[in-house]
Amino acid sequence: MIKRIFDVLMALLGITILAIPILVIAVLVRITSPGPVLFWSARVGQYNRLFQMPKFRSMRVGTPAVATHLLKDPQSFLTPIGSFLRRTSLDEIPQLWCILIGHMSLVGPRPALFNQDDLILLRTEKGIDCLRPGLTGWAQINGRDDLAVPEKVHFDEEYLMNQSFAFDLRILVRTALGVLARRNVAH
């Protein structure tokens, strides 16, 4: 219960503080490439239920719906400001909405794409699917794009076994430091 209250309060605070940057990013996305400002992606949530997760669009319209690392040349699919949005993690800001409505938490395993069958299967086998997916997580700060699926699941399982409010705060602090240093972002 404390985690949910904290999530809602921090999401509301984040949206309030970031209102102007959200508007600026939305305008920049719109004027630098054709298509919608937000990209809504089908993601796997708690108990493997699908939900729609928004991101500021960093890829061109028509990009295949696969994990970025599976694209042959990910750079060729980026919009003019897409690389900047991804490096700074600003593309993730709209996910605060998913935290508000209860599809996500601030901290948890990152939500898998609907077609990442290997990741979904391993998480389900380990009981990780009982967790609400997070804006950031233990695997995120321990490798993010550089981790193979079994490694991600290992970190997700560690989080499941050791979750606490203090652990969440530690992950949030390390996430903030990692974002500022732009660590472990491949695209």
Exposure pattern of 136-167 as b/e (b: 16+ CB <10 Å)?
A: bbbbbbbebeebebeebbbbbbebbeebeeee
The ranges assigned to domains in the chain are 2-181
As a whole-number percent, the residues of the chain with pLDDT over 90 amount to 79
pLDDT at 38 over 90: yes
Per-residue pLDDT of 87-123, as tens digits, reads 888 999 999 999 999 999 999 999 999 989 999 999 9
Give the model's pLDDT for residue 76.
82
Q: What is the pTM of this model?
A: 0.86
Per-residue pLDDT of 137-166, as tens digits, reads 999 999 877 899 999 999 999 999 999 999
Question: At residue 96, what is the residue type?
Answer: L
Give the model's pLDDT for residue 145.
73
Q: Describe the strand order of the beta sheet including 112-113 as a list of residue ranges.
A: 50-56, 38-44, 112-113
